[in-house]
Every structure is written in structure tokens, then in C-alpha cells.
Amino acid sequence: MANPIYADFHIHTHFSPCGKPQATAEAMLRRAQEKGLAAVGFADHVTPDPIAGCAFYDRQRPCIMADLRAEIAQVADGLDLEILVGMEADYTIAGRACLNPAVVAQADHVVCAASHFHLPAAPQFSGDGPRARAALMLRLAREALEMPGVSIWAHPFHCSRVRPLLPILETVSEAELATLIALANERGVAIEVNGAAARDEGYRLATARFFGLAREMGARFTLTADAHSPECLDRLDLVLEWAYALGLGERDLLTALELKERHKRKATADAPLQRGFPG
């Protein structure tokens, strides 16, 4: 009994360098259906151009979305699932070059990360203290939210390089969090509740204030297992439990229909303005 709000828009496949070989479209879709999802959004790591010093993105050209669509077409027959093929953009590593109108037009939705500090070529923290880390995370998040075409803010503040997270986020004022959340709302960007991040109790503790404030401010949310293999989709149980603990309900969650409408609006309205895109 698939629940129409029960969707995961951040699913990786073998087309991601971190995706497991067994993360075929067929295996991921099968597991998604077993988990009772009504909609899935694939979001492999994609960036328009190779990134100097970061081999992770060497093969992550936008054409992998077309390759994945072709793979899905072979196996999706008879599946009762809404399927989106989008991408995870990486503002952390590529900055404003992480998206352009042509790439946005190829995607069904764009999940954008601003906290991939573990990858080579990531921006460096200007100092050791927690505030220096917080300041960089806040700036990257703000700039990522301003990027045309972005519909979901991937795993806010989550990275193995910013642990323990609590003392870092304790340097962030409520006003600073509220500014980011207001920007997300204004830009039509949903905030992701991420099951990979949620495995870490430190992350859940550190971000409870942020998610609580976002809920109070009327933000919209997405839930994801951030799966890189079929069995990772089991993290949906954990993330759903955490979302309920945060006080999130069905009305707070973005549906596949809303996501598609948002993306269409962004791909057509944002793109001609070229605002925020590198020349």
C-alpha cells in the first residue's frame, strides 16, 4: 500500500562513483517498491564539466541521466512507481559551475549539496575553530540555495569532516538559521531529511534545532535513504522515524507532483534570466 507522500528523491545507482555495482536501476526500483514507495527520484552525482583536482567527477557528465533513463526503460514495465531521473549537483566542489540551464533542462529534479568537504578540491576551512567551519557551511548553503534550478537542499550540514557537529552548529544563531530557511522557502527549495546522515546520533542532535525551526517556518521537506545500494533503502525506516520525532507530518513533505511542478517552473522561469549562472 504505497502512500503518495512516501517518496525518496535522492537515490544513487552504479552511475555514481560511490554507487555499488549492484545498484542497478532494476535492483533499486524493485527494493523501492518493496519498501512501499510511491515515487522515486534518481539523483546520481552529475556536474556539467570535469573538476580539476577532483577525480570523483571525471565521469559524471550529464549524459549519465540519459544512460540511466535507457536502463530504466528496459526494466520499469509493470512497476507501480512514479520515476524521476534527476541529479545531485555539488555546489561545494563546483560552485556556480555546478549547474547550467542545459543541465537543469535534462533533469527531472535537482538535489544540491553544499557540504561535501570530504572530496578533494573542497574549499578549505579558514581556521580550526567551530565558527570558521560554521561560517563556511552557512555561506555555501546560502549560495547553493540561490542557484537557479535547485529544488532540494541535500543533507544540510552533513559531512564526516565536520564532526562533532554540535559545537559547530552551536555557534550559529537562530537568526542565521532563520535567514537560510527563509531563503529556501522563498526559492522553493525543500529541505532534505537524510537517512545516511541520520545514522549518526551526533547529526540528529546537532540539527534538531535547525529542523524544528524550519518546520515552524513552514519549510517543505523530503525524506531520503540516500541509498547507494538496494539494501541502503532500508534506511527509509530510520529516516521516517526521525522525521516523526522531529514533528514532521505528511503536510510538510513535498510530493512528486509538487517537485515536478517546481522543477518545471525553475527550468523555464529561472533559466532565461541566466541569473546566477556563470557566463
Residues that bind Zn ion (CB under 5 A): 18, 113
- Closer by beta carbon to Zn ion, 24 or else 38: 24
> Which cell numbers in the block locate residue 77?
514495465
- Closer by beta carbon to Zn ion, 113 or else 190: 113
> Which cell numbers in the block locate residue 75?
526494466
Distances from the Cα of 136 to the Cαs of 3, 7, 267, in angstroms?
Answer: 38, 31, 28
Question: Least distance from C-beta 155 to Zn ion, angstroms?
Answer: 6
- Closer by beta carbon to Zn ion, 89 or else 253: 89
Contact 154, 88 (CB under 8 A): yes
Contacts of 275 (CB under 8 A, 6+ apart): 148
Question: Least distance from C-beta 20 to Zn ion, angstroms?
Answer: 10
- Closer by beta carbon to Zn ion, 113 or else 150: 113
Please report, as a single letter, which amino acid is at residue 156.
P
Cα end-to-end distance, the chain, whole Å: 48
Question: Least distance from C-beta 234 to Zn ion, angstroms?
Answer: 17
Question: Least distance from C-beta 129 to Zn ion, angstroms?
Answer: 25
- Closer by beta carbon to Zn ion, 117 or else 277: 117
> Which cell numbers in the block locate residue 105?
533542462
Question: Least distance from C-beta 7 to Zn ion, angstroms?
Answer: 18
Range 12-29 burial, b when 16+ CB lie within 10 A, else e:
bbbbbeebbeebbbbbbb
Question: Least distance from C-beta 28 to Zn ion, angstroms?
Answer: 13
- Closer by beta carbon to Zn ion, 18 or else 55: 18
Question: Least distance from C-beta 170 to Zn ion, angstroms?
Answer: 24
Question: Least distance from C-beta 194 to Zn ion, angstroms?
Answer: 8
Distances from the Cα of 41 to the Cαs of 4, 165, 209, in angstroms?
Answer: 14, 28, 27
Which residue has the closest beta carbon to Zn ion? 18
- Closer by beta carbon to Zn ion, 113 or else 144: 113
Range 112-137 burial, b when 16+ CB lie within 10 A, else e:
bbbbbbebeebeebeeeebeebbbbb
> Helices 201-216 & 174-187, crossing angle to 10 degrees?
70
- Closer by beta carbon to Zn ion, 43 or else 254: 43
- Nearest of 2, 43, 34 to residue 155 by alpha carbon: 43
Secondary structure of residue 7 in the 3-state scheme: strand
